[in-house]
Structure 1
């Protein structure tokens, strides 16, 4: 199969421009995702650079070679920057511009400008370097990222290996001949691979950004915005999953139902800001005072719940008392303290049904309130 080089060149420019425009549109729609903006810059700079390089032979050879390749190297640098932004690292502008500046400086060397082989070699090596750096940005934080990065890593590494391999196979003489119309193999395969790589990496980056956004929206939907712990929906789902595991492993579990005492009076006397501060402080106290396998959440206005897997009634009472004591020591403002009443129920009494555990713990909580508040009561069936 013979590929028409000018057609492939124009198709490459068209596809880079189209993908860059689509990425720019996605960035403007998302507003907060800078990765898409950087990727748009990468693709559009690559399209412009390819267009300028294509002007070679129209009487502007020196400008075409110098400016076009500087734009292409800048595109590679911005692509590296896009991945740094995605993983939460600061932009390194000197590194982004280094390839383009190096090309510009080499352009002052007459021998460099007269040697096609040397120019192509330097350009390809810079592309391989930036591509490898881009892959490294993902690889170094692979355990912290919540999205699938394998497709992006595979594309980047294949792109780097392809460019390096093509350079090794073609060598100097073949590269020289391609501009004379005797051997278009290097340029043809490079354009074709660039075309396929641009399409693939653009869609993979879009998929990664979308996946992360969906995960963050889902996490936000299951988190109480004030206390930053799970809301009722998150608590219910996680608690039921832990209970199912306790059933499978034959282990007990216990539930604590906590209610801040005199919360309405606190709001009325000191304002809602103080009430909110009390909720935030208790939510933090609860989250820090439980084990990693425990589940806690704010399930009502001033009501919190905590499920303790693999804990019997005695352990639950100890945990509840520790939470009650820590709450009594909270000082929101000078002479403004809060207390909590806690009801405890265990699977020994209620079985492994979450709604029944909550109902029995609520009865125990009622006894704690009736008994004077600032106390822990266990359900006594």
Structure 2
């Protein structure tokens, strides 16, 4: 059952790797590691068909690879460089040690101890990784707890092999310790996989949420993400009465860039512009791509003069022609601030858009600020005396 479930989980992880391998690292390594565990089980079952020593050597080698690849996958998941030297050094030492105690100087207890202590190296490395780089979340803590338990089980088996003889650790004999280890080994093989997949699922959830609120090309917010950011900032600023300013940025003659240099170069220009906008803003500000070559910026607690300064920084950061790796480009920018607490996002966007079109009409490559509309004036009350007053 453990072998079948490991094979099934390997397929699930490989499928996730194909779909989200760039965002969630390590799934492919874990899938390959599970296949190695399946191969080890098959090799062990064939020990009566194949030469027994060949089957045992293959079983141990595949187990080392499976456990080691899970370590590599965990390192990649947490964004750490894979320890390939540790991987190759440990499994080679394990195969040579097991081979020595199996073929040259047969000693079952030494063979079990060698395997256990070297497998412990792989598990302990993952425990250290979770402690140093794991997020404070249930899925990560659950994975770390299982790794710690598995490390203790493997280490205990190695110590028992040296201290109490081989009978207590031989999984082919009917003993309490051996049965307990066999049950734990099968249980942990599945639970560790489930725990890692739980962490991966949480990471996938974050990735999917990001995809729903961010532009895939430039990485800035999309319309949906911008609307959320606006509502949050609007609620915060409304209570304090502080201003909120919005700017719409449009690349001038962007179609000519695509026609002359190709759409791939056009995409690079958009990415550069998005990065230049983000670098010109504060951390509390937000930038979004509304489609095509149009970007929208939300400036929290900023008056129009501050927005104009930010707009000029953006214009200065754009590619400037000869000597630059990207084609020269300019932008037109329209700026508007909330006229009142009752003004909606659509109304603010409309006034900023009108300022943008004024910038386009006035020659492009410039900044225009929308005038704040005057508040509506209440009609004068009618005279109480009316026509009864004499002339």
TM-score when scaled to structure 1? 0.78
- 1:79-131 deviation per Cα after TM superposition (whole angstroms, max 9, x unaligned): 22222343455555553343443233333257985443333222222222111
Contact map agreement 1:368 1:375 (CA 8 A) in 2: yes
Contact map agreement 1:23 1:36 (CA 8 A) in 2: no
* 1:118 equivalenced with 2:110 (yes/no): yes
Offset, 1:23: 1.2
What SS does the aligned partner of 1:292 have? coil
User: In 2 relative to 1, CA 312–164 (structure 1 residues): closer, same or farther, beyond 3 Å?
Assistant: same
* 1:343 equivalenced with 2:334 (yes/no): yes
Contact map agreement 2:113 2:157 (CA 8 A) in 1: no
Q: How does 1:1-381 map to 2 (within 5 A)?
A: 14-24=1-11, 26-28=13-15, 30-31=17-18, 33=21, 35-50=26-41, 52-53=43-44, 62-63=53-54, 65-89=56-80, 91-106=82-97, 107-109=99-101, 113-142=105-134, 148-165=139-156, 172-173=163-164, 175-177=166-168, 179=170, 184-264=175-255, 276=267, 278-327=269-318, 330-331=320-321, 337-349=328-340, 353-380=344-371, 381=373
Offset, 1:21: 3.8
Contact map agreement 2:114 2:158 (CA 8 A) in 1: no
Offset, 1:294: 0.8
Offset, 1:270: 6.9
User: In 2 relative to 1, CA 370–349 (structure 1 residues): closer, same or farther, beyond 3 Å?
Assistant: farther
Contact map agreement 1:344 1:377 (CA 8 A) in 2: yes
CA distance in 2 between counterparts of 1:235 and 1:262 reads 25
CA distance in 2 between counterparts of 1:164 and 1:273 reads 55
Consecutive unaligned residues of structure 2, counting only runs of 5 or more, are 374-391
Consecutive unaligned residues of structure 1, counting only runs of 5 or more, are 1-13
What SS does the aligned partner of 2:29 have? helix
CA distance in 2 between counterparts of 1:319 and 1:353 reads 23
What SS does the aligned partner of 1:230 have? coil
CA distance in 2 between counterparts of 1:199 and 1:294 reads 45
- 1:229-259 deviation per Cα after TM superposition (whole angstroms, max 9, x unaligned): 3222222222322222323454322111122
Which structure has more RCO (C-alpha within 8 Å, separation ≥ 6)? 1
TM-score when scaled to structure 2? 0.77
Q: How many residues were matched structurally?
A: 366
Which is higher, the Rg of structure 1 or of structure 2?
2
- 1:166-192 deviation per Cα after TM superposition (whole angstroms, max 9, x unaligned): 555786225435659987122111111
